[in-house]
Amino acid sequence: MQKILIIDDDRTMVYLLRTLLEMEGFEVAEVQDWKSIVETIRVERPDVVLMDYFLPDIDSLEVLSQLRAAPDLAGIRIVNSSGMDVSDQCIDAGADAFLLKPYTPEQLIKVLRDIIGEDGATEMASSPPEEK
């Protein structure tokens, strides 16, 4: 079962996303402490991180760059979302995809399935490269 980690300060949005994603067969985790997002990702090892662009007291692009710089986390798939079109900034910072709010459940599921792949495999940075 693929795991999605939700990083969003809107509790209603987190609840709705959790319900939708669990109905679609995903395991769902969420960040409880904004100061330990990177550590939470390290512990949870999600297949995809679904992260709101605007977070309280923290810059989501900084979180993104920290993830991309960490050898054990660089391969985790990240989808940013926002009500403003900041897709260029997110993609330039290393996001795998961007969703403009409000998005439909179908749009979200399609993006997640496209990123994870049909076979459910994601490439994790912690996996050693195959020998040739």
pLDDT digits 0-9 by tens, 64-117 = 999 999 999 989 999 999 999 999 999 999 999 999 999 999 999 999 999 988
Question: Residue 112: what pLDDT?
Answer: 96
What is the structure's pLDDT at 130? Answer: 39
Q: Does domain 3-116 have CATH number 1.20.1250.20?
A: no
Scanning the structure block, which residue is given the tokens 């390290």?
42
Task: Domain ranges for the chain, please list them.
Answer: 3-116
More confident residue, 82 or 56: 82
Phi then psi for residue 59, to 5 deg, are -95, 115
Q: Under a CB-based contact definition with an 8 Å cutoff, are residues 58 and 33 in contact? A: no
Considering only CA atoms, which of 74, 17, 6 is closest in space to residue 40? Answer: 6
Q: Is the pTM of this model over 0.75?
A: yes
How far apart (Å, rounded) are the C-alpha atoms in residues 12 and 91? 26
**pLDDT of res. 128:** 37
